[in-house]
Amino acid sequence: MLRHYRAVHSATTSAPSESIGGAVSNDGDSLHTIIYAGIVNIIIKDSRPFSLVEDVGFRELMKIVAPTYTLPSRKTEMVEAKYQEAQEENKAKVQKAVAVSLTSDMWTSESMDSYLAVTCHYIDEFNELNTTLLGIQHFPQSHPADHLADQHLRLMEEWGIRDKVRCLITDGAANMIACARRLNVRHTICIAHVINLIVRKFFNDTAGMNELRQKSRKLATYFRTSTTAKDRLMALQTQMGKQPLKMIIEATEELSAEKRVSASKVISMMNMVHHALASRALTVTHPIARLAGTPHPFRPRLENEDTVE
């Protein structure tokens, strides 16, 4: 629920218009209400656990800021009311839409629990595209099309969009395609997912690509495990006015979206890697340097090539 709230609903909390020493703000809210709302806001925006109110440092801070305030228990329904309020606001907005499309995906958590996430997309009265997460449903049972269709239908009815859904966008899994048929909704395969599959197949089926991936992984592993090499790489990036980037083992689909891994960043990073491997700390005779194909230190400098003092 907390992840849903942060992903979809903006959590705003009114700040007191007077100093913390005042008992009542200008809008009539009591100091207790303002502080309580502020704690809820911290938990939501910073994805903090409810046990925040029991942390020693936080309790000491609150004694300084508001010594007479009694912190709520972690068992208090601190977020539920705010969640319900924001959900109703978003339901009203979604229900004004003439038509909507849904994106849906099954994913597995680190603890190997399965979840179904359904997102709604629509154009509002101001001709702006809006996206609302309808829900992330724990899905402990198997994933046949009937079960998937039931969960989609439940969310569609809960949000009042049963007759407004024009398209369901998913991956190409057979159960998702069958789910759309049972809902009597047009189905479209996610183009980003298709491109990802094409790229993976290219790497797996093209001669030499697996060897290249293995070499790249060895390079990344070296810079992630060697403190000297990592520090040299970070220093070079800073010296050349580049944003310091860390080496990653492999840019998966999820990591690329989360960290904004792009081709330009990869190329820039490889230039830094060449410089780091050719530095005094790591000569070209080092096997890792040969692995990267580091140029000879006495080769002519290319036009417009960055240099490092």
Domains and CATH numbers, the chain: 2-83 (no CATH), 96-189 (3.30.420.40), 207-292 (no CATH)
Rounded Cα distance between 148 and 139, Å, is 9
Distance from chain centroid for Cα 68: 39
Rounded Cα distance between 93 and 75, Å, is 32
In DSSP notation, 242-262 reads: PPP----S---HHHHHHHT--
69 within 8 A of 135, measured Cβ to Cβ: no
pLDDT per residue as tens, the chain (309 positions): 445 445 554 444 333 333 443 444 444 468 888 888 889 889 888 888 888 989 999 999 999 989 988 888 877 677 788 888 889 999 999 999 999 999 999 888 878 888 999 999 999 989 999 999 999 988 877 778 899 999 999 999 999 999 999 999 999 899 999 999 999 999 999 998 888 888 888 878 887 877 877 787 787 788 878 888 888 888 888 887 877 777 766 655 544 444 444 455 666 677 777 777 776 444 444 444 444 454 444 333 333 334 333
Q: Which of 233, 227, 228, 232 is nearest to 247 (CA)?
A: 233
What per-residue confidence (pLDDT) applies to 203? 78
94 within 8 A of 100, measured Cβ to Cβ: yes
Does this model's pTM top 0.75? My answer is no
